[in-house]
Amino acid sequence: MSDPSIKPPQGDRIAKVLSRAGVASRREAERMIEAGRVRVNGAQIMSPALNVTPADSITVDGTPIAAPEPPRLWLFHKPLGLVSTDNDEKGRDTIYSILPEDLPRVMSVGRLDINSEGLLLLTNDGGVKRKLELPSTGWLRRYRVRVNGRPTDDLLEPLRKGVTVDAEAFQPMTVTLDRQQGANAWLTIGIREGRNREIRRALAAVDLSVNRLIRINYGPFQLGELKPGEVEEIRRKTVRDQLGLEPEEVDKAAEQKPAKVTRQRKARDPQRKRISSTPRTVRKPR
C-alpha cells in the first residue's frame, strides 16, 4: 500500500519534454541524454530518470529547447518505394525525403512497408504516437488489397475467424471480396492490431499473393482524395476530440480551410527541425 505522505515528483520525464519540444522521439531523446548531450539548469545529465518542470532550463548540444507545441496530427499519402523510418540501414529512400521542408519534426504512427501505400499518420507528439499504436486503442485500419488468384468466400473464411502464421495468432479480420479483375481480385480488409506484414502473411496462409496494398483509413481518419506524397494536417479540435485529450484553447488559424500549394519543395532533412507557419496545409510531392 502506497504511503500517502509521499508525493509523486512534479513535472514530466525529461525525454517526454524533449519529445514534446520536437527535439526527438522519447527513445532517441534517451539516447541523447545517455550520450551527455543534454543539460538541465546548466548541469549535464546522463540518465533519463529525471522529472523537469517549465521552470527548468534545458539545453541540447548547448541550444535551449523550444517551448512544447500542442499535439498535432497529419494525414500523409505514402507512395510506393519509400520506407517509414528516419534512417534506413540499406540506404533506401525514406518518407522524410519528400515531406514538406516547413513541416516540424514528425514521427510516423506505425509503419507501412516499402511495397505498401496509402494513409500514414504523422505526429509531433510521442505520447500521441504511442496512444494510437496501442492495440488497446482498437481502431479499425482498413485496406484495399489486390491479390493474384480467384478467391472465394470459403477461401477467405479462415481470415475472418483468425489464422495462426509461424506460431503467431492473428485476430479475426473483416474481409470483403469486392470484384474479380482478370487474374486479380480486389478485397477490402480491416484489422485492429497491425502486426508486421500481417495482411500479406495472413493471405499467404490461404495461398493468395498480394500485389498491391493501400491503407484507406486508420480509425476515424480517412485517406480520402489525398494524392501520393501529399500531407494534410487534421484540425486540432478534431485531434483533441478523437484522442480524448484535455481541452485547450484552439488556435483559430488551425480551424481555417486548408491551403493547397503546388510549388516544388526540396528534400527534407529528417533531423532538421522546422516550424510550420500554416497550421493546416497540403503539400504536393516533389
- Judge whether 154 counts as a catalytic residue: no
Question: Which of 93, 102, 113, 251 does the annotation list as catalytic?
Answer: 113
Q: Is 30 helix (H, G, I), strand (E, B) or coil?
A: helix
Cell of 41: 539548469
- List, in order, residues 6 or more apart from 182 with CB less than 8 Å away: none
Cell of 59: 539545453
Taking each helix axis from N to C terminus, what angle separates 236-243 and 126-133, rounded to the nearest 10 degrees?
Answer: 50
Q: Is 216 helix (H, G, I), strand (E, B) or coil?
A: strand
DSSP symbol at 195: -
Whole-number Å distance between alpha carbons of 157 and 195: 20
Catalytic residues: 113
